[in-house]
Chains A and B, each alone.
Chain A
Amino acid sequence: MRIGVVTFPGSLDDTDAARAVRYAGAEPVRLWHADRDLRRVDAVILPGGFSYGDYLRCGAIARFSPVMAELIPAARAGLPVLGICNGFQILCEAHLLPGALTRNAGLRFITRDVRLTVGNATTPWTGGYHAGQQLLVPLKSGEGAYAADQATLDELEAAGRVVVRYAGEAPNGAARGIAGICSDDGNVVGLMPHPEHAIDPLTGPSADGLGFFTSVVRAFAGAAAATEAEAGALR
């Protein structure tokens, strides 16, 4: 499986996302913000960082890059996309996910290992977890408080689109403790904590985050097998 990792000017965790892809047994493919080209990848990760310095608003400028012009329709058509931290912010700015990420309640940047509860284990990025599972993953952001109007929040909850939630009090003031959400049909997932920094206890607090990457690999293998079976039936 080929998973694209986009590098915007100011992307920082792109190497780490690529490493996580490798650990999960897939091939990372580097995508460049200025190219209108997804290089025929099977999924895309928008990594963490400070794209365009996060000047103006996090993700606001990256949203207009040429690569996003390709990604937005592809995501709408079902391509699995994972936005981590800055990537989540970009997905919200691009309206692939509802709501926005706002300044942390304490107004300071926070690096902390946080416990998350999996709320939706049916997306391509979380299929390997089970609902209710607890994960220990680093959070590191200054504008990580998820915000949306009440109607949107209600709708997200009703549709089971809260993918991960902070266990206990949200460290950044996120509405309803939301750490990550998904699109209507689940293929686009965004979250503030960094699963790619929890793939090996040597360099992270746990290996709990690896499941995001192995999940998508499994989902892809499953889909490929299904296509294969279909093709076989046709033959």
Chain B
Amino acid sequence: MSDEDTVEVAAGTPDRPQPFAELGLTKQEYEKIRHLLGRRPTAAELALYSVMWSEHCSYKSSKVHLRQLAPGEQQSEALLAGIGANAGVVDIGQGYAVTFKIESHNHPSFVEPHQGAATGVGGIVRDILAMGARPVAVMDALRFGPADAHDTARVLPGVVSGISFYGNCLGLPNIGGELAFDPCYAGNPLVNALCVGVMRHHDLKAAVATGPGNKVVLFGSRTGPDGVGGASVLASATFEGAGGEGKAAKRPSVQVGDPFMEKLLVECCLELYASGLIEGIQDLGAAGVACATTELSAGGSGGMRVTLDDVPLRDPTLSPAEILMSESQERMMAVVTPANVRAFLEVCARWDVEATVIGEVTGDGMLTMTWRGGTVVSIPPETAADGPVYQRPMARPADLDALQAGTPDGLDRPKDGQGLRAALLALLGSPDLADKSWVTAQYDRYVRGDTVLAMPEDGGLLRVDERTNLGIALATDGNGRYCRLDPYLGTRLALSEAYRNVAMTGARPVAVTNCMNFGSPEDPAVMWQLAEAVRGLADGCRELGIPVTGGNVSLYNQTGSNAIHPTPVIGVLGVHEDVRRRLGAGFTTDGARLVLLGTTGEEFGGSAWAHVLHAHLGGRPPAPDLPSERRLATLIAQAAAAGLLSAAHDLSDGGLAIALAESCLSGGRGCRVSLNGDPFAGLFSESPARAVVCVSPGREPEFAALCEANEVPATVLGTTGGEALAVEGAFDIPVAELRKVWEGTLPALFG
């Protein structure tokens, strides 16, 4: 006789104590489960609800706010699938659709940086694959504690090697990302990975189990004890020591990635799609089999019956609860008609991918699972899929008024050319602004042969069609300092910066994804920050006329009562009509006219200058100006298409000074500019909606007219050429000196 906790046993032992708290469920949530089922849950059911109702899977704290992101009508024209799908899907024309999403793997990357980051890439790639698309590129947005902190020397190299290992081995070019440091991320690094995929319109797949009688197939890696640490409490509680204890001892919380298996899985899935062998598909991410079976059946027409004994195991001692909770990587679940099963298994065999029928779709509306003859799960799947929704208390952070009152106005400013020169070099060599090659040189940017722009350009740009030269551009941005000062404005700034970075390539921004990285939702101040950030994103996207297609929320990024800065990371996707007309940031020709686009104010709150030179954070962030961003983007796209420009680079952290330095470094030549007004504000202010461009010789009048037509203020700054970055009346810095400062920082820190 099995000593398993079956539905029958549960019905007969209503009072058996269950370790719901250890599994992260509250007393109320546990009671709710009992109420939904009309009995106590079995151990397996408890495991299933606990993972499905976790913050990570259920979005129970953020859901009420995320509703604001539902796109309005004029934003959603190009949307083929939106929030709620594994990833949103956007029509980019010529019959192509693009799906992209950014996701966090913050906590695992702190515990085991290499594997944590690697499996973060693997997870987001499967999300994209599950939509029916071929994954074509990845990006990574990274934030760490202070660059010179001891633990950063452990976490950063591990994270970068993990992303490099997984992404490179999978054959996906890395086309951009972010790297930033701040004490608030010590102990809570942020590792956000983005993946983008391309498909034809009709390839779009749904995560639903329809058609009673259809088979449920689990394929990819075997299921092992990865990440089931939590489930071990079930084993010990259920068996009360009856062999449960020794077994519970060895359950790793670390998942190990196998990018080779993922590559096989990608190619295998694409062949299955192309052969029309799939009715529905879901990737296995956090919550593994529990999540895939629940979501497939909840999204489908009826129920599902699963024989857990048929799940191929790497470790035969796993209990049903552990099988359900296992986070083993590189697995997918598909719904297949009985007639196609054989062909399905043949394709899998060709790719050396193990595939097993573990159940079938039913019409009874129940998710039922058996184990050794007994029924261990019998639930209405939607009760697990639709978790609780909380309206958590919110309160403006108590210190925010003081923080905003402490403006940077009183900080010592450079008084002369020498001072300005020193400030520029200090910023350029600071870890946030220094050359990121130490990181990005570990990533393959060339594989697949369609990368047109990658780091250090403003946006990554990929060719989608070799015949028509249609392409897509992507950028991610976030600024924790701005958001700490004002999460509403800060989020709009992150959005506008990513939007602007995409626009700089000559692409037209069309859609948005986001990863909301915050502290504990149980802290009302954090909830307020989250609510403000989401409101900022929703308003910003409405003003820009582009939809949010998906995203991810990562909470509990805090140590004790110290939360990270609120850090929404925003990804923007653009469409490039002709990638041959792309613009890079580098000054690649001599004697070209340099023009500054946009309006410069005195905006130093949260600026790189205040941070690097004064370790100061206070005041208000710059004022976002989304209508101006829109006009700037339109102008650049038109000018690029008409061939009026040879370079474009947006102004962001460190203002004009850093933008000019970066363009000089990237193009390998200097420039000479003169500034009207206060050179300090001119060089270091961080007013948004600005860019520098190089106008192609002879096209100056045309470009000036285009600026006027688009109502974008344009100021001639000077010309490109020479060996130095020269600002009239202030300083000359040889490009070689810029390079030494810029390139030296990260190697000095990380070897």
Contacts and interface: CB of A to CB of B under 8 A. Distances in A.
Touching chains A and B, CB distance < 8 Å = yes
Interface of A: 9-10, 12-13, 15-16, 19, 34, 48-50, 52-55, 108-112, 138, 140, 142, 194, 196-197, 202-204
Interface of B: 161, 164-165, 168-171, 258-261, 263-264, 350-352, 440-452, 463, 466, 579-580
A118 B648 CA distance: 36
A194 B168 CA distance: 14
B260 A55 contact: yes
Nearest to B164: A109
A12 B171 contact: yes
9 contacts: A9-B264, A19-B449, A50-B263, A109-B168, A142-B168, A194-B446, A202-B579, A203-B446, A203-B451
B263 A10 contact: yes
Nearest to A55: B260
A197 B496 CA distance: 33
A111 B445 contact: yes
Given A16-B449, A55-B260, A203-B452, A9 B352 contact: yes
A34 B263 CA distance: 17
Contact of B442 (A34, A53, A110, A197): A110
Nearest to A7: B267
Contact of A110 (B170, B441, B451, B452): B441
Name the residue among B444, B446, B452 with the largest chain A CB count within 10 angstroms. B446
**List of 8 A-B pairs having minimum Cβ-Cβ separation, nearest first:** A53-B260, A12-B171, A16-B449, A197-B446, A50-B169, A109-B442, A140-B444, A109-B164
A50 B260 contact: yes
B448 A202 contact: no
Contacts of A55: 260
- Do most interface residues of chain B lie in helix, strand or loop, or is the interface mixed? mixed
Contact of A203 (B168, B258, B449): B449
Contacts of A48: 447
B161 A108 contact: yes
Nearest to B750: A108
Given A10-B260, A49-B171, A202-B580, A111 B352 contact: no
A54 B442 contact: no
A50 B168 contact: yes
B183 to A, nearest CB: 27
Contacts of A54: 169, 260
A202 B463 contact: yes
Nearest to B160: A108
Nearest to A18: B449
Contacts of A112: 441
Nearest to A20: B449
Nearest to A194: B446
Given A52-B260, A53-B260, A109-B168, A12 B447 contact: yes
A160 B71 CA distance: 65
Contacts of A111: 440-446
A153 to B, nearest CB: 28
Given A109-B165, A111-B440, 8 more contacts: A15-B449, A34-B350, A53-B260, A109-B161, A111-B445, A112-B441, A203-B451, A203-B463
Contact of B351 (A9, A52, A110): A9
B293 to A, nearest CB: 29
Contacts of B351: 9
B447 A16 contact: yes
